[in-house]
């Protein structure tokens, strides 16, 4: 009988099969940090490659950047992070545990909407409902205090010459400060887009939901610069484009829902999140689409003194462009893919099979090469492995029975297993086994590469 997938079960699965490990585990771990293992790293890179293909490669006037993590401190003053980037936190007077107010309320009642409450209303809710501390169960809290989420560091060799700088809390500002550089160097015109994949850092209290919220995380950001009046059309387009991206990656469309922001940020004209229904956690944000108006470029013009105006050579009109942002969490995407693809199946003989039915494009290994009997078939199998590995990620396994080796590949999502046997040595044919159906066919060795390539397209 299939057991229900929980985040706790997924954590153990990821550790056992080389997807994700606890950060600094041999030292007892560092809370809310995670290391991607050999299999997880491949999955993560494949998701990023899929994003690059859809958002950069296949889109006209789309350009990728890799801005620095450390930026001039004035960038974060202009963006508003230095003045107002903080989390409302509350301490339990009994056990001294510190909690984010919104997660405390949502953990007590998933239907509650702390994002639509003022700080005073949040405190009133906690006191009125006697929301218990998740650690000790008591309901005795301090008042709300704001804690700065920026990670601070210093640049300079001597103490007296040190300058405070910040680890970036988001990627988007790197795209905004390079707006003029891309416009000039790529000789482009509006509308055009800038994308990037990179790490961001937030010094926040996290609820411990595996990789969903961490202090170090990776984002796939996409900013479209356009003329005011075209902005809402792009906004609606990228809302649908986000969902299509994930559905095309094989994620169950029934798991998705859209949620408009009840309270808009001061810079936003419209904002919507794409939610995925995670096990244990429930519906939670995977992607965000935001109409940021011309706020960001206007602020950078004000703080830098450099004009951010765009000249339309056809109308001779000058204006600061509007920005429509479409942002994706890499780590959350990995988590969603794993949750959606994990299956337990009862076979005809009563055996239970763990299988990761992941899109072949995302599979860490596309092919596993297996000699039927090591003593007789290993030399040929190694030759096949070395040839196929020139075209796509390929793994090799010669230990244990062929059945156990099939199961090892099923559980990490390898879509195709190629078995080298006596007939291979005679007529250069091999058996290809399909992960999902477990069906096997015989094929000429010379046709294997084309066969696999046709089935891993995204």
pLDDT tens-digit readout, 246-269: 999 999 999 999 999 988 888 899
- In this predicted structure, the answer to whether residue 240 has a pLDDT above a threshold of 90 is yes
- In this predicted structure, the answer to whether residue 2 has a pLDDT above a threshold of 70 is no
Cα(154)–Cα(89) distance, integer angstroms: 26
Number of helical (H) and strand (E) elements in the chain, helices listed first: 15, 23
Estimate the crossing angle of helix 101-108 against helix 119-129, to 10 degrees.
40
Instruction: Mean pLDDT check: name the lowest of 97-101, 216-220, 223-227, 450-454.
Output: 97-101
Question: In the structure encoding, which two tokens stand for residue 77, read together?
Answer: 């003053």
Q: Is 181 exposed, middle or buried (0-12, 13-18, 19+ CB in 10 A)?
A: exposed
Q: Kindly report the average pLDDT of the chain as a whole number.
A: 94
User: Which of 252, 65, 285, 19 has the alpha carbon at shortest distance from 175?
Assistant: 65
Cα(303)–Cα(313) distance, integer angstroms: 27
* Structure confidence at residue 110 (pLDDT): 78
The H or E element spanning position 195 is strand 192-201
Q: Under the phi-then-psi rule, with left for phi > 0, alpha for psi from -120 to 50, and beta for the rest, what region is 250? A: left
Instruction: Mean pLDDT check: name the lowest of 49-63, 127-141, 358-372.
Output: 127-141
pLDDT in tens, 110-133: 788 877 787 788 888 888 899 999
Question: In the structure encoding, which two tokens stand for residue 95, read together?
Answer: 């056990």
Q: Long-range CB contacts (< 8 A, 24+ apart) of 318-321?
A: 319/227, 319/228, 319/294, 320/294, 321/179, 321/190, 321/225, 321/226, 321/227, 321/228, 321/294, 321/297
Asked if the 63-85+149-337 domain carries CATH number 3.40.50.1100, the reply is no
- The residue count of the chain comes to 458
Cα(283)–Cα(275) distance, integer angstroms: 6
User: Which of 225, 227, 204, 229 has the alpha carbon at shortest distance from 215?
Assistant: 204
Q: 394 to each of 170, 294, 374, 449, how far by Cα in Å?
A: 35, 47, 18, 11
**Confidence band (pLDDT; 50, 70, 90) for 274?**
very high
Question: In the structure encoding, which two tokens stand for residue 307, read together?
Answer: 């004009």
**Percentage of the chain exceeding pLDDT 70:** 99
User: Which of 410, 420, 398, 418 has the alpha carbon at shortest distance from 364?
Assistant: 410
With a CB cutoff of 8 Å and minimum separation 6, the contacts of 320 are 294, 297, 298, 301, 308, 309, 310
Q: 423 to each of 333, 355, 374, 444, how far by Cα in Å?
A: 42, 29, 15, 11
SS (H, E, C) 381-447: HHHHHHHHCCCCCEEECCCCCHHHHHHHHHHHCCCEEEEECHHHHHHCEEEEEECCCCCEEEEEHHH
- In this predicted structure, the answer to whether residue 91 has a pLDDT above a threshold of 90 is no
User: Which of 417, 395, 411 has the alpha carbon at shortest distance from 16?
Assistant: 411
Phi (first) and psi of residue 286, to 5 degrees: -115, -35
* Structure confidence at residue 1 (pLDDT): 45
* Structure confidence at residue 98 (pLDDT): 82
Cβ count near 1 (within 10 Å): 5
With a CB cutoff of 8 Å and minimum separation 6, the contacts of 179 are 194, 225, 297, 308, 321
**Confidence band (pLDDT; 50, 70, 90) for 374?**
very high
Residues of the chain with CATH 3.30.930.10: 63-85+149-337
Cα(370)–Cα(348) distance, integer angstroms: 24
* Structure confidence at residue 207 (pLDDT): 62
CATH fold of 365-455, please? Rossmann fold (3.40.50)
Question: In the structure encoding, which two tokens stand for residue 32, read together?
Answer: 């809310």
Residues of the chain with CATH 3.40.50.800: 365-455
pLDDT in tens, 385-394: 999 999 999 9
| pLDDT, mean of residues 332-348 | 96
- In this predicted structure, the answer to whether residue 350 has a pLDDT above a threshold of 90 is no
For the entire predicted model, the pTM comes to: 0.90
Cα(279)–Cα(11) distance, integer angstroms: 12
Q: Is 412 exposed, middle or buried (0-12, 13-18, 19+ CB in 10 A)?
A: buried
User: Which of 327, 325, 333, 329 has the alpha carbon at shortest distance from 247?
Assistant: 333
Rg of the chain in Å (alpha carbons): 26
* Structure confidence at residue 127 (pLDDT): 87
User: Which of 144, 152, 143, 149 has the alpha carbon at shortest distance from 86?
Assistant: 149
- In this predicted structure, the answer to whether residue 52 has a pLDDT above a threshold of 70 is yes
| pLDDT, mean of residues 228-247 | 98
| pLDDT, mean of residues 397-416 | 97
């Amino acid at each position: 009988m299939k057991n229900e997938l929980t985040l706790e079960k997924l954590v153990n699965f990821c550790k056992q099969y080389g997807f994700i490990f606890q950060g600094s585990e041999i030292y007892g771990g560092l809370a809310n940090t995670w290391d991607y293992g050999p299999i997880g790293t491949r999955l993560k890179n494949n998701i990023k490659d899929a994003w690059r293909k859809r958002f950069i490669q296949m889109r006209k006037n789309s350009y990728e950047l890799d801005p620095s993590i450390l930026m001039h401190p004035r960038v974060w003053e202009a963006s508003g992070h230095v003045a107002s980037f903080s989390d409302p936190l509350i301490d339990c007077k009994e056990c001294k545990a510190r909690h984010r107010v919104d997660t405390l309320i949502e953990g007590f009642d998933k239907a509650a909407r702390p994002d639509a409450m003022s700080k005073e209303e949040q405190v009133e809710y906690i006191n009125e409902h006697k929301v218990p501390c998740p650690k000790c169960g008591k309901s005795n809290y301090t008042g709300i205090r704001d804690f700065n989420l920026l990670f601070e560091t210093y640049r300079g060799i001597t103490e007296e010459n040190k300058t405070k700088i910040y680890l970036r809390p988001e990627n988007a500002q790197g795209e905004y400060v390079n707006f003029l550089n891309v416009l000039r160097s790529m000789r482009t015109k509006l509308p055009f887009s800038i994308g990037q994949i990179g790490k961001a850092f937030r010094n926040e209290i996290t609820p411990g939901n595996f990789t969903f919220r961490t202090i170090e995380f990776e984002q796939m950001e996409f900013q479209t610069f356009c003329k005011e009046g075209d902005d809402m059309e792009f906004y609606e387009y990228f809302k649908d484009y986000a969902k299509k991206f994930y559905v095309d990656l094989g994620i169950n469309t029934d798991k998705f829902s859209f949620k408009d922001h009840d309270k808009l940020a001061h810079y936003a004209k419209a904002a919507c999140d794409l939610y995925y229904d995670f096990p244990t956690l429930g519906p939670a944000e995977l992607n965000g689409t935001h109409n940021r108006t011309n706020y960001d470029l206007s602020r950078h013009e004000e703080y830098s003194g450099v004009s951010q105006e765009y000249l339309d050579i056809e109308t001779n009109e000058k204006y600061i462009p509007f920005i429509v942002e479409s942002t994706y969490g890499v780590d959350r995407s990995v988590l969603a893919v794993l949750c959606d693809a994990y299956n337990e199946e009862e076979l005809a003989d009563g055996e239970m099979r763990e299988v990761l039915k992941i899109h072949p494009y995302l599979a860490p290994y596309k092919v596993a090469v297996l000699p039927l009997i090591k003593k007789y078939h290993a030399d040929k199998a190694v030759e096949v492995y070395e040839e196929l590995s020139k075209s796509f990620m390929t793994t090799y396994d010669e230990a244990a029975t062929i059945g156990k080796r099939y199961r090892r590949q099923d559980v990490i999502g390898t879509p195709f297993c190629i078995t080298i046997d006596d007939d291979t040595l005679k007529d250069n044919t091999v058996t290809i086994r399909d992960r999902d159906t477990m069906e096997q066919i015989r094929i000429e060795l010379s046709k294997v590469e084309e066969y696999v390539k046709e089935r891993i397209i995204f």
